[in-house]
Structure 1
Amino acid sequence: MTKDIKSSQPLVSIVTPTYNRPDYLLVALKSAVSQTYQNIEIIVSDNCSPENPQKIIDSFQDPRIRFSRNEKNLGMFANTMKAFKMARGKYVASLLDDDMWAEDFLAKLIPPLEANPNLSLAFCDHYIIDANGEVDIAATRKCSNSYKRNNLAEGIYQPFYRQGLLDRSVSTATAALMRRDFIDWDLIPAEVGGSWDVYLNYLFCRSGNGAYYCPEKLTFYREHEQTDTMQSGKLNFKAKIRKAKADIFCYEQFMADERLQEFKPYFQQQWAQVSTNLGIGLMRSQELEAARPYFWRSLKQKLHWRTIVALILSFTNTKIATKF
């Protein structure tokens, strides 16, 4: 690409917050520098990893990579927002340090945004890969089905409340290109925590602008033991508590928004389910009394056997309750 052509194209900021995943980071950055669309900056924000990834950055000898290392660990949310705030591009995309992009990810999502200034973002489908980078066909199919991308037609959705907040078809953390200046990054509350991508969906949706969907799988989401999704399972109750608190905060914002009132019953149902998850997380951490109010408020919204059993167990022996 010549310098004149490159300078005439909009700058895209690739945001990569990272912590203690040097091998995965190397792979992620390789996929970034290999983009066929080359007018990019790659922002790597290291959250004070035990092993400084400076050598990895230097190995690329690519001036498009901007590296910043925190003097202390800021936490996942603060480090991620710091990276977004460093962005200077017209468009911004999240490339997490354990994920990868197909080389034409940007090239295929930029044109619809350039052609339509009323679009907030463009998004695509993605593959699921394992810890070794192998595509898991069954998991990929399940993911596309779960998030309703399998039957989602290519094109513009405006508004896109259903795709962004109900079906969760839009993944701003994994497979989306966003207009940077549509968001005031300083106003994203810390309470959203690990659900920052869900909250971004909300902010883009409520603007009233549209979203473009490309039905191709252009990114690769890696599932492994260190991801927040895996850690919020049965054994890691602390991660489960963090995730549930973040989700509850988001759903409470959605329920209070007058623009989303037609979807309020759905958000209330999800809020109740997540309240149960939070209660179970607290119960597994031996905080039985703290867990009960979340079970009660969940049951006030909807009777469910899982919540009823959890509430009963919260009045039993701690050793029994923590095994639920």
Structure 2
Amino acid sequence: MNARRGFESHMRHCDDASGIQIGARDRPMKVSIIIRTYNRGYIIGEAIQSALRQTLDDFEIIVVDDGSSDDTADVVERFRSEKIRYIRHDGNLGVSAAGNTGIKAAQGEFIAHLDSDDMWSPDLLARLVAVLQQYDEVAAAFSDVEVHRGTQISSIVGSMRAFPKLLASRGDGSDVFLFSSREMYLCLLEEVPIKPTALLVRRRVLDEIGGYDEAWRSGEDWELYLRIAKRYGFGYVNRKLAVMRVLADSTLAKYQEQDKTSLLRLAVSEKKGLVQDGEALQVVNRAIYHHSKDLGWIYLHTDRRLKSIKTYLRGFFETGQVPLIVRAGVALMPLQLVSGLKSMFLSGGRLQG
């Protein structure tokens, strides 16, 4: 689907979305905070509180309820803040549609997305807005995110392969880094160091490129970032300004599989337009290799051996990476033997190679 056609079609469709306007302002503001949610009434209040505690005060909050069947509306209404607007979809249209609904309703110069189970540091908006105000050449600014998974705490940037190397190459100890369109595009081809909950984008850029492509039910953020990076640079604040919580109800394995499937499909799709760009082809092939490896491993350890083998082989035919053929051979072995190999060669949760 063409992203702009899909976006404009959605904008017409969403005129029928039911809305409960808890608060309203009759003038534009600096930032519109969009909270997309579905059945998160038990935790969305913490996300809203973290938004209301921002040191930068010129913002609105738009809660887009994607057809929840729980008490989300009641939780939002209890805040009774003039900064909050609540919009409800009649059905579950998906996260991309919810994002486009929020963008349509937004009055701010800058757009932020706060996931309903995440939280912000009080200075997130102030720091990201400062970058966009100081550097006109960048379309968006983002920060690192602290990830809470039970008692384990990590960070998004710390889990990346390519982006930390890009930061280290600057070596100036700065809190703020600027990346050109080309630098950011090549980085995003390989991995996604950006989480929507720690990103601020200029509204005019979203209007220009067409918002979320609703053909993508998962991986929609990466697809959007790639389109932005093809035209504009990004700013990065080297601080953890948001907290992302991996909750039990997130059915982590299911979402990991969905994400890897979408990321692999998007990487293969993006590769088709890079036949004249040798550098980008090399980068996207690395991404296809890693996504194929990870997705094949997920299939193998959920007893879907044939899908695992097909994933490895397709990855090999796309990239020519021999280790994927080896993995396809491993997938043919009895599971007990595979488990033995895993104990011998596993490093950091993945087979070497």
Same fold (TM over 0.5): yes
Counterpart code for 1:144: V
Counterpart code for 2:263: D
1:277 Cα deviation after fit = 4.3
| Aligned match of 2:233 | 210
| Aligned match of 1:178 | 201
Mapping for residues 259-270 of structure 1, pairs under 5 Å: 261-270=278-287
CA distance in 2 between partners of 1:115 and 1:50 (Å): 43
Deviation by residue 1:64-89 (Cα, 9 ceiling, x = unmatched): 21111222222333333333333232
1:281 Cα deviation after fit = 5.2
CA distance in 2 between partners of 1:221 and 1:287 (Å): 30
| Aligned match of 1:248 | 264
1:46 Cα deviation after fit = 1.3
Pair 274,263 (structure 1): closer, same or farther in 2 beyond 3 Å? same
| Aligned match of 1:102 | 121
CA distance in 1 between partners of 2:278 and 2:125 (Å): 35
1:287 Cα deviation after fit = 6.0
1:29 Cα deviation after fit = 0.1
% identity of equivalent residues:
22
Equivalent of residue 145 in structure 1, options 155, 158, 163: 158
CA distance in 1 between partners of 2:27 and 2:178 (Å): 25
- Is 1:49 the counterpart of 2:68 in the alignment? yes
Partner secondary structure for residue 60 of structure 1: coil
CA distance in 1 between partners of 2:249 and 2:267 (Å): 26
Equivalent of residue 157 in structure 1, options 159, 165, 179: 179
Equivalent of residue 296 in structure 1, options 313, 317, 333: 313
CA distance in 2 between partners of 1:130 and 1:242 (Å): 19
Pair 126,246 (structure 1): closer, same or farther in 2 beyond 3 Å? same
Equivalent of residue 272 in structure 1, options 289, 292, 299: 289
**Is the contact made by 2:191 and 2:287 (CA closer than 8 Å) also made in structure 1?**
no
- Is 1:226 the counterpart of 2:249 in the alignment? yes
Superposed CA RMSD: 3.4
**Is the contact made by 1:28 and 1:97 (CA closer than 8 Å) also made in structure 2?**
yes
1:252 Cα deviation after fit = 2.2
**Is the contact made by 1:12 and 1:92 (CA closer than 8 Å) also made in structure 2?**
yes
CA distance in 2 between partners of 1:54 and 1:178 (Å): 27
Pair 220,240 (structure 1): closer, same or farther in 2 beyond 3 Å? closer
| Aligned match of 1:3 | none
CA distance in 1 between partners of 2:271 and 2:239 (Å): 32
CA distance in 1 between partners of 2:102 and 2:327 (Å): 39
TM-score (norm 2): 0.73
CA distance in 2 between partners of 1:251 and 1:108 (Å): 32
Counterpart code for 2:266: C
Which piece of structure 1 moves more, 98-107 or 15-24?
Answer: 15-24
1:48 Cα deviation after fit = 2.0
CA distance in 1 between partners of 2:195 and 2:204 (Å): 15
Pair 266,100 (structure 1): closer, same or farther in 2 beyond 3 Å? same
**Is the contact made by 1:14 and 1:42 (CA closer than 8 Å) also made in structure 2?**
yes
Mapping for residues 183-198 of structure 1, pairs under 5 Å: 183-184=206-207, 186=210, 188-198=212-222
Counterpart code for 2:180: Q
CA distance in 1 between partners of 2:37 and 2:26 (Å): 29
Deviation by residue 1:200-257 (Cα, 9 ceiling, x = unmatched): 22112101x2212211221111122233xx623xxx4xx4542233112321233233
Pair 188,109 (structure 1): closer, same or farther in 2 beyond 3 Å? closer
Unaligned stretches of 5+ residues in structure 2: 1-24, 343-353
TM-score (norm 1): 0.78
Counterpart code for 2:177: G
